[in-house]
Structure 1
Amino acid sequence: MTVSSSEVQRAAVVIVASAFGADAIRRDGHAVWAQAAARAGADGFEVRRELFADETDAQPEALAQLGAHIRAQGAWAVYSTPATLFRDDGALDSDALRLAIDEAAALGARIVKLQLGGTESAVATDAVTLDRLMSGISTSKARVVVENGQLKAGGTIGAFEALFGALPEASGLAMTFDTGNWHWAEQDPLDAAKRLSRHVAYVHCKAVMGEGARRFAAAPANGDARFATLLSQLPNDVPRGIEYPFIPGVDVSLDADAARQVARIAAF
């Protein structure tokens, strides 16, 4: 039997905790749903700090227990925090970076993800700031990535280009490319992929339905050529995270839909 190149190069798939529903995660805890992610065939599970039921969930011992549980399922962890790498005035938030790195280390995460933040146009890229940033990142065992958010502040192509253009190649910082968030920030996802692809180390996968404030994340449609073209512009050897809701129905369980979506995202 001949193995195709697409099978050999299958991207690792991560299930983002929120795909199971924010209320379910807060009610049951991440550990329960990490098991569901493993049953679905996911390689990794993204822990979302904002979905902790209590601040005690973010304490080192609790994170270590959760990380051990995820690894026991045969999966690895991503740690996501809603904290921004840069403050509203564009200045580096070293405390937020340090806390995210420390919490990710306690979890044993492979990747730690923050939002970019900053002003609507830029973040600080002076030499002192960049030195502090790289020094902070150098303490992390996890890959540090910043994600494009749904606001213009931290969600424009230009801000990411300016930051990565100012950093040396070996800065240690990479990007989470969210395929859907660009729409909220009124940016062209395909243009973003062409300009930022070489900095991408993790992809958040979702399609977007609706318009304006009524937009919402959804699974890419079968045969979605635009989504397939977008992914083709991004590295095919980086993990792909599912960040749209699983939809159980009369004829399909939540577990079955999760497994189906893992297979679909791996195959795109």
Structure 2
Amino acid sequence: MTLIISAATWDKELKSGMRQEALIPLAREAGCAGVEFRPYWQNIEEEIPQIRKALLENNLVCAYASNEALLAGSQQETLQAIDSLKAGVLLADRLGAKVLRFNVASGAFDVSFVHTSWWADAMKQVLEAAKSLGIVLAVENGPDAQKGNPQVFKEIFAVLPELELTYDTGNWLYANTKPEAALDWFLPRVGYVHLKDIICENAALKHGHPGTGIVDVKGLKERIEASGYTGIFALEFPGGDKPMERVFKSLAYLG
């Protein structure tokens, strides 16, 4: 299994001055294969070459989890979002990333655009660019009822069979969907995996690290592996005040 850590786990530290290059020795300390980087850049032109050099020196891989999306509320906004997604592909390539994870949308969106020729043509250009660079494009099920709606993904994948899924083990619950049911539908489309748990407190859901909540993260991970999946799994959850401790607890739980 290719298992990496995510910058999301160090959200507080990265927003307080820590640079993402510092995650590389932490991945090695945890015995993980690399890092999922995110848009926490302080000086992107300086950081990217430093990160790429350090990854090569340590024989580590990486993914890039961008904030880009493939849908918005109008045609103009959607085409602008897709242009940004195309730029995200180039940024991922500069990092040497194997995967570019992105979102369904950043706000309100119109899923009917999926069935238009202008949307399909624009997205196919992005897919072709990613393929030429050897990058997996994988859209994530977001942690809410709209961006995690399985029907939205069924419509998207019906139009774009080359697109893959970032399967987040926890986020399906925000769309009132069992993760196991989502895997029944989308297992052949999985191109990247986020491993997180969901904790239910006072009828509210919140993210947690694997083994602390109501999701069978280990069972889902094992089922994905058994399918023949050879891609990347990322530990992706809030680190709180003890990110490395939560990483090691997750690793112990996952076995």
Aligned partner of 1:99 among 87, 92, 100: 87
Contact persistence 2:166–2:190 (CA under 8 A): yes
Aligned partner of 1:73 among 58, 62, 84: 58
1:258 matched to 2:247? yes
SS at 1:138 equivalent: helix
Cα distance in 2 for residues equivalent to 1:63 and 1:73: 15
Partner of 1:110: 98
Write out aligned runs for 1:26-41 (5 A).
26=15, 27-41=17-31
Aligned partner of 1:210 among 177, 194, 200: 200
Aligned partner of 1:63 among 48, 59, 68: 48
Compared CA separation, residues 97 and 246, structure 1 to 2 (3 A):
closer
Aligned partner of 1:166 among 159, 165, 175: 159
Cα distance in 1 for residues equivalent to 2:156 and 2:232: 23
Q: CA deviation at 1:138?
A: 1.3
Contact persistence 2:200–2:214 (CA under 8 A): no
Compared CA separation, residues 233 and 153, structure 1 to 2 (3 A):
same
1:125 matched to 2:115? yes
Q: CA deviation at 1:247?
A: 7.0
Contact persistence 1:116–1:147 (CA under 8 A): yes
Aligned partner of 1:179 among 164, 169, 172: 169
Compared CA separation, residues 123 and 34, structure 1 to 2 (3 A):
farther
For structure 1, which segment, 155-164 or 127-136, has the greater mean C-alpha deviation from structure 2 after superposition? 127-136
Partner of 1:6: none
Partner of 2:13: 24
Deviations 1:62-111 (A, max 9, x none): 32222222332221111111221222347453212111111111111111
Partner of 1:4: none
Contact persistence 2:98–2:136 (CA under 8 A): yes
Q: Letter of the aligned partner of 2:140 in structure 1?
A: E
Aligned partner of 1:42 among 24, 32, 53: 32
Partner of 1:5: none
CA RMSD of aligned residues (A): 2.8
SS at 2:115 equivalent: coil
Compared CA separation, residues 261 and 166, structure 1 to 2 (3 A):
same
Gaps of 5+ in 1: 1-10
Q: CA deviation at 1:259?
A: 4.1
Q: CA deviation at 1:180?
A: 0.8
Q: Letter of the aligned partner of 2:149 in structure 1?
A: T
Q: CA deviation at 1:203?
A: 0.8
Contact persistence 2:11–2:238 (CA under 8 A): no
1:191 matched to 2:181? yes
Q: Letter of the aligned partner of 1:85 in structure 2?
A: L
Deviations 1:105-144 (A, max 9, x none): 1111111111112737555233342232122221122211
Q: CA deviation at 1:232?
A: 4.2
For structure 1, which segment, 138-147 or 208-217, has the greater mean C-alpha deviation from structure 2 after superposition? 208-217
Compared CA separation, residues 87 and 119, structure 1 to 2 (3 A):
closer
TM-score, with structure 2 as normaliser: 0.83
Partner of 2:233: 240
How many residues in Structure 1 have an aligned counterpart in Structure 2? 243
Aligned partner of 1:135 among 103, 118, 125: 125
Partner of 1:157: 150
Deviations 1:220-264 (A, max 9, x none): 328988333433443442221101245787xxxx65653453354
TM-score, with structure 1 as normaliser: 0.79
